[in-house]
Structure 1
Amino acid sequence: MHIHHLLEQNSVANKFISQLRDVNIQNDRMRFRRNIERLGEIMGYELSKNFSYEAKDIQTPLGTASLGLPTEEIVVCSILRAGLPLHTGLLNYFDDAENSFISAYRHHPNNDEEFEILVEYLASPSLEGKTLVLADPMLATGRSFVNVMKALERMGTPKHIHLVSVIGATEGIEYIKEYFPQDSHLWIATIDNKLDERGYIVPGLGDAGDLCFGTKLQH
């Protein structure tokens, strides 16, 4: 797997990440969602550099210009519900992409710290021969990405796979490397080194879904 770590180089993305982490700012839900959306735009731009392009002649009022335009058939798939703002950011750049939505959540069957990832909803076009962009803002244990990809298998085999995440843990990244093809790509804004005993990223930012959309009743 090819890892693309956005914050290895300083950019305006640092500001968006800092506001997402800041407890004095992150409770502004609209700003929180918008910062995730903006990071989706930035990573969409970066990953587009890996697409295939074909020269096209464009007629202007004064002549003809030749431009390389992407030839990829793109499907943007977000993991509900926290993935929705990231999905929007990607769609702002890939406005003609097809869309896929899938649910994944932590289920605690024994009401303790142990959990399993359940996938209960999927709406998707065919993925056969297309470029799949799979979006989830938090890459903690990596199990959500893996279980979602298993659920998507019946939709066809993508030609290329790009994972997009805002904050990840080293442990989760190592986990997904075992399950995704070697030529797949992970685009991630920043990487933290630690998971706590509940499997949450430290220092992380908390529960992205709750910060985007409000707290939920636990399953």
Structure 2
Amino acid sequence: MHIHNLSHQNSILNTFVSEIRHVHIQKDSMRFRRNIERIGEILGYEMSKVLNYKSSTIETPLGHCDINLFDNDIVLCSVLRAGIPLHNGLLNYFDAAENAFISAYRHHTHNPESFEIIVEYLACPSLENKILILADPMLATGQSMVATFEALKPYGIPKEVHLISIIGAKDGVDFVNTHFNDSTHLWIAAIDETLNEKSYIIPGLGDAGDLAFGEKLQK
């Protein structure tokens, strides 16, 4: 898997990441969602550099202009609910993309420190020979990313797969790396060192879904 860790570059992206992490700034849920959206735009822009283009000629009011234009059939799939602002950011740039949505959550049984990933809702167009962008803001254990990709398999074989996350843990990145083929790309804004006993990313930012949309009742 090709891993593109954008924290290795100095850019305005680091400012947006710092604000979604900051214990006080992140309390502004509207700013939190907007920062997630802006991060999605930057990750999408960087990803666009490795996609396909074709030579085209467009007509201007004063003549003609030759330019290489974006030429890709994209399906953008986001994991609910935290993935919604990230999806919007990506869709701002890939506005012609088809869209898919999937729910995935941690189901805790007897031990609060162990869980399984439950996938329930899924709406998806055909993925056959298209470019699949699978977006999930937090790549903690990596199990959600793998589970959602498995759930998408009946919809066709994508030509390319690009994974989009904002913050990941090293263990989660390693787990995903073993479950996706060598041609898969991971675009990520930061990779943190570890997970805590509840499999939350450390230092991370907390629960992205709760910060974006409010606290939820646990099952």
For the residues of structure 1 that align with 2:28 and 2:75, how far apart are their CA atoms? 30
Deviates more, 1:109-118 or 1:65-74: 109-118
Paired position in structure 2 for 1:94: 94
Letter of the structure 1 residue corresponding to residue 97 of structure 2: A
Q: 1:26-175 residue pairs with structure 2 within 5 A?
A: 26-110=26-110, 112-175=112-175
Mapped to 2, the partners of 1:46 and 1:17 lie a distance apart of: 16
Q: Distance in 2 between matches of 1:128 and 1:31?
A: 37
Identity rate of aligned residues, in percent?
61
* CA offset digits 1:11-58 (Å, max 9, x no partner): 111110111011111010000000000000001000000111100110
Specify the SS of the correspondent of 2:76: strand
> Alpha-carbon deviation of 1:111?
5.1
Mapped to 2, the partners of 1:86 and 1:55 lie a distance apart of 30
**1:113 Cα deviation from its structure 2 partner:** 1.3
**TM-score (norm. length: structure 2):** 0.99
**How far is the alpha carbon of 1:69 from its aligned partner?**
1.0
Q: Which runs of 5+ in 1 are unaligned?
A: none
CA offsets 1:141-179 (integer angstroms, 9 cap, x no match): 000000000000001000000000000000000001111
Does structure 1 retain, via aligned residues, the 8 Å contact 2:162–2:187?
yes
Q: How far did 1:7 drift?
A: 1.0
1:204 aligns with 2:204: yes
* Offset at residue 109 of structure 1 (A): 1.6
| Residue type at the aligned position of 1:124 | C
- What amino acid does structure 1 have at the position aligned with 2:203? P
How high is the TM-score relative to the length of structure 1? 0.99
Aligned to 2:180: 180
Q: Structure 1: how far apart are the matches of 2:206 and 2:20?
A: 9
Q: Which amino acid aligns with 2:85?
A: P
Aligned-residue CA RMSD in angstroms?
0.7
Deviation at 1:112, TM superposition (A): 1.8
Runs of 4+, deviation exceeding 4 Å? none
* 1:53-108, Cα deviation, whole Å (9 max, x unpaired): 10011011111101111211001100000000000000000001000000000000
Task: Please tell me whether residue 11 in structure 1 is matched to residue 11 in structure 2.
Answer: yes
